[in-house]
Structure 1
């Protein structure tokens, strides 16, 4: 099953946004801007054919016009080709992650909806600290 198949089937999906640790040329840092983003606000996907590192790169910009990162190298050619061909893609901010963020996208006039929130999972203490036992005297 190729990309053409998935492009015809997929109506909404989540896309990873990477590169948040890199600085912007001007304006606030990407991490700072990510902290301002709220789930559901629009983001803009912008192909960057002049990008010397990757001509297929697709930049992701917040609702305030500040770059927050790029789509992954695996998804950028696919999404970039759809944008260049004129396919309608609407994107919203979904969430901040350790690697950057996630955007939710919808195709062909559909509106992206945030997925249902996951219940908080029990956090294991993985700090590596284990206190010495305290014994009764």
Structure 2
């Protein structure tokens, strides 16, 4: 496995430093922009927490609790993990990561699904006589 997408959560929480608003910073991020993964071993909730910092040095959240121990183990072991911003999501954001010195690439964009028929049909408007 060379690349995968990971989710960032905690976007609604304030940053401890008071520097920046996570949701606003996510809106400033552009697909393909580098992000930094930072180990946070003194995190009182999770010693495997991995903080995600934007290219401007503002925290945008944390990797999910399901993936953080795995990525934290790689980072502690000296394995190179590179990450780029993929997109904003409802809980926060999605990142694209690559391992062992590889450069992550964005997956192909998919067109949003369109509904061929509208949900309603407007009433006919009679002509003026």
TM-score (norm 1): 0.83
Alignment partner, residue 7 of structure 1? none
Give the paired residue count: 125
Structure 1 residue 132 displacement after superposition: 9.7
1:11-40 CA deviation, whole Å, 9 max, x = no partner?
000000001011112121100000000000
Structure 2: which 5+ runs fail to align? none
Larger Rg: 2
Whole-angstrom CA distance in 2 between matches of 1:102 and 1:29: 17
Structure 1: which 5+ runs fail to align? 1-9
Q: Which stretches of structure 1, 4 residues or longer, exceed 4 Å deviation after superposition? A: 123-126, 130-136
Alignment partner, residue 20 of structure 2? 28
TM-score (norm 2): 0.88
Root mean square deviation of aligned Cα: 2.1
Structure 1 residue 46 displacement after superposition: 0.5
Whole-angstrom CA distance in 2 between matches of 1:23 and 1:63: 18
1:63-96 CA deviation, whole Å, 9 max, x = no partner?
0000000000000000000000000111000000
